């Protein structure tokens, strides 16, 4: 049981106390230990079956294409570039995008030793070359490293036959002006959109 607690503790945002409560719940209170058995089985299956899509880098099953790349109903002329595979999930949840993805595997961050050659950029360029006239949507974060990555990608994509766009920067939904920081306000002002045209 000590080993189980110390393993659960290593999960993101789980502390000692939380791990102990999880073990207690799994073994005593979840009813007949079936949840623990199911979890054990699901973990083993995931380790065995879940891999990386050879095209876009998102999660796939048993070495095939991922759910997006294998879905012929999606718009193959849009490639949304994200930092990590987990960034696909919030975009899918918002439900407005129906194109394909490309996971870079990180963002350019020289301080952490992550340079462009450590990211899946060559495979992105190959995909763009195979799909003339496509749109590449840079959906990287709005932090310094995300900005650097977007700038680098837009420069390297410029000679290709593709449109390159970037997620809008501005006021988050539901926010008043008092809550916005100066940089967000500056970008919102710079990127202001005409309402009448």
Binding interface with a copy of itself (CB under 8 A): 82-83, 86-87, 90-91, 93-97, 137-143, 146, 150, 154, 157-158, 163-178, 180-196
How far apart are the C-alpha atoms of 138 and 80, rounded to whole Å?
A: 6
Least Å from the CB of residue 38 to a copy of itself: 27
Taking the least distance from each CB to a copy of itself, the nearer of 24 and 185 is 185
Q: Smallest Cα–Cα separation from 43: which of 21, 11, 13, 17?
A: 11
Least Å from the CB of residue 91 to a copy of itself: 6
How far apart are the C-alpha atoms of 85 and 70, rounded to whole Å?
A: 16
Least Å from the CB of residue 106 to a copy of itself: 12
Taking the least distance from each CB to a copy of itself, the nearer of 22 and 139 is 139
Structure tokens at 105: 């595997």
Taking the least distance from each CB to a copy of itself, the nearer of 1 and 158 is 158
Least Å from the CB of residue 82 to a copy of itself: 7
Structure tokens at 179: 């809550």
Helix (H, G, I), strand (E, B) or coil at 66: strand
Q: Smallest Cα–Cα separation from 78: which of 60, 96, 59?
A: 96
Taking the least distance from each CB to a copy of itself, the nearer of 54 and 191 is 191
Rg (the chain; Cα; Å): 21
């Amino acid at each position: 049981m000590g080993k189980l607690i110390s393993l659960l503790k290593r999960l993101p945002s789980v502390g000692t106390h939380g791990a102990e409560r999880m073990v207690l719940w799994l073994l005593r209170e979840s009813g007949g230990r079936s949840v623990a058995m199911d979890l054990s089985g699901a973990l083993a299956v995931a380790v065995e079956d879940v891999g990386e899509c050879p095209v876009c880098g998102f999660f796939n099953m048993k070495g095939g294409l991922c759910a997006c790349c294998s879905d012929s109903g999606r718009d193959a002329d849009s490639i949304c570039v994200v930092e990590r595979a987990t960034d696909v999930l919030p975009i899918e949840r918002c439900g407005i995008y129906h194109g394909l993805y490309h996971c870079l595997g990180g963002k350019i961050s020289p301080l952490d030793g992550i340079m462009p050659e450590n990211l899946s950029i060559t495979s992105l360029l190959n995909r763009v070359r195979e799909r003339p006239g496509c749109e590449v949507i840079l959906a990287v974060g709005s932090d310094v490293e995300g900005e650097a990555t977007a700038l680098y990608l837009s420069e390297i994509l410029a000679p290709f036959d593709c449109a390159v766009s970037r997620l809008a920067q501005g006021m988050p939904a539901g926010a008043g002006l008092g809550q916005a920081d100066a940089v967000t306000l500056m970008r919102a002002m710079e990127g202001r959109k005409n309402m009448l045209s």
